[in-house]
């Protein structure tokens, strides 16, 4: 498919989606959203794609919503700042949270505004040392969106989340890592190689089990301990009878790397 605002490439089971408006720091437009939807649909249905990496072209991950794009209007003809969220951002965030394959946000540079929170909706977030994240909304007198008010307190705690959102400070990669917003930081020169290696690891891993792990992790956000323990038992029943689980144990006994099929 020909895209104009993203680049999508597949290699060794990994779909890499690069937000690609580098002269505008990959700011999101409705075209970019539509193209992202198409690329993610492809990733969902194509069994050969087992991991999705979301990154940015050029020096930024993304500067969030394109502030020069014409605003949507409500039925009364007035600007409606919620409309774009309902049409584009909210479905994207929900889709990423529920995505059936492993998703990696690779912050090659600044992740700002809605883009920061889209990154946080991915399963694993890694960053180049020069990258930063900024809940920039308050700087332009807007409320954090794209799930930030939900995800940030859960990741960094209520007080720190509020400080991030109220100050709109740029938080450097190392600090993001200490806060738990980023899993690992890599030197800029090594970043692309490290991301590719991590994504290839996921693509070669037990895809069905990954899906179950994600289901358990997401469910824990609403479950009490007893409900979660029961869910774990059920999911383990599924995982334990998979071909991959049998292969995992056989490979361990035979002292060789496992060859997973994702079922």
Rounded to a whole number of angstroms, the minimum distance from the CB of residue 136 to ligand T3D is 4
Distance CA 36, CA 29 (A): 11
Of 63 and 121, nearer to ligand T3D (C-beta) is 63
Of 81 and 252, nearer to ligand T3D (C-beta) is 81
Rounded to a whole number of angstroms, the minimum distance from the CB of residue 60 to ligand T3D is 7
Are 209 and 201 in contact, with CB atoms under 8 Å apart? no
Rounded to a whole number of angstroms, the minimum distance from the CB of residue 21 to ligand T3D is 8
Are 207 and 260 in contact, with CB atoms under 8 Å apart? yes
Of 55 and 209, nearer to ligand T3D (C-beta) is 55
Rounded to a whole number of angstroms, the minimum distance from the CB of residue 139 to ligand T3D is 6
Rounded to a whole number of angstroms, the minimum distance from the CB of residue 69 to ligand T3D is 7
**What is the number of helices (H) and of strands (E) in the chain?**
11, 9
Give the binding site for ligand T3D (CB under 6 A).
Answer: 24-25, 27, 63-68, 71, 81, 84, 110, 112-114, 136-137, 140, 142, 145
Token digits of residue 91: 């479905």
Distance CA 253, CA 74 (A): 63
Of 21 and 101, nearer to ligand T3D (C-beta) is 21
Of 166 and 197, nearer to ligand T3D (C-beta) is 166
255 burial type by CB count under 10 A (0-12 exposed, 13-18 middle, 19+ buried): exposed
**DSSP-derived 3-state class of residue 20:** coil
């Amino acid at each position: 498919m020909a895209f104009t605002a993203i680049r999508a490439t597949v290699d060794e089971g990994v779909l890499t989606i690069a937000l690609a408006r580098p002269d505008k720091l990959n700011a999101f437009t409705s075209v970019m959203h539509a193209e992202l939807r198409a690329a993610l649909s492809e990733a969902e249905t194509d069994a050969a794609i087992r991991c999705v990496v979301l990154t940015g072209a050029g020096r930024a991950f993304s500067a969030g919503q394109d502030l020069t794009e014409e605003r949507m209007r409500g039925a009364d003809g007035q600007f409606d700042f919620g409309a774009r969220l309902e049409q584009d951002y909210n479905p994207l965030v929900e889709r990423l949270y529920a995505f059936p394959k492993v998703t990696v946000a690779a912050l090659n540079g600044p992740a700002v505004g809605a883009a920061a929170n889209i990154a946080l909706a991915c399963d694993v977030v890694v960053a180049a040392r020069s990258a930063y994240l900024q809940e920039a909304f308050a700087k332009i007198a807007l409320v954090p969106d794209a799930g930030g008010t939900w995800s940030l307190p859960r990741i960094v705690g209520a007080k720190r989340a509020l400080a991030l959102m109220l100050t709109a400070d740029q938080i450097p990669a190392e600090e993001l890592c200490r806060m738990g917003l980023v899993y690992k930081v890599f030197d800029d020169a090594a970043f692309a190689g490290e991301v590719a290696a991590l994504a290839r690891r996921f693509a070669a891993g037990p895809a069905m089990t990954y899906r179950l792990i994600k289901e358990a992790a997401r469910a824990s956000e609403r479950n009490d301990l007893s409900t979660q323990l029961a869910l774990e038992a059920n999911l383990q029943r599924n995982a334990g009878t998979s071909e991959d689980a049998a292969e995992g144990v056989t490979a361990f006994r035979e002292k060789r790397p496992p060859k997973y099929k994702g079922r």
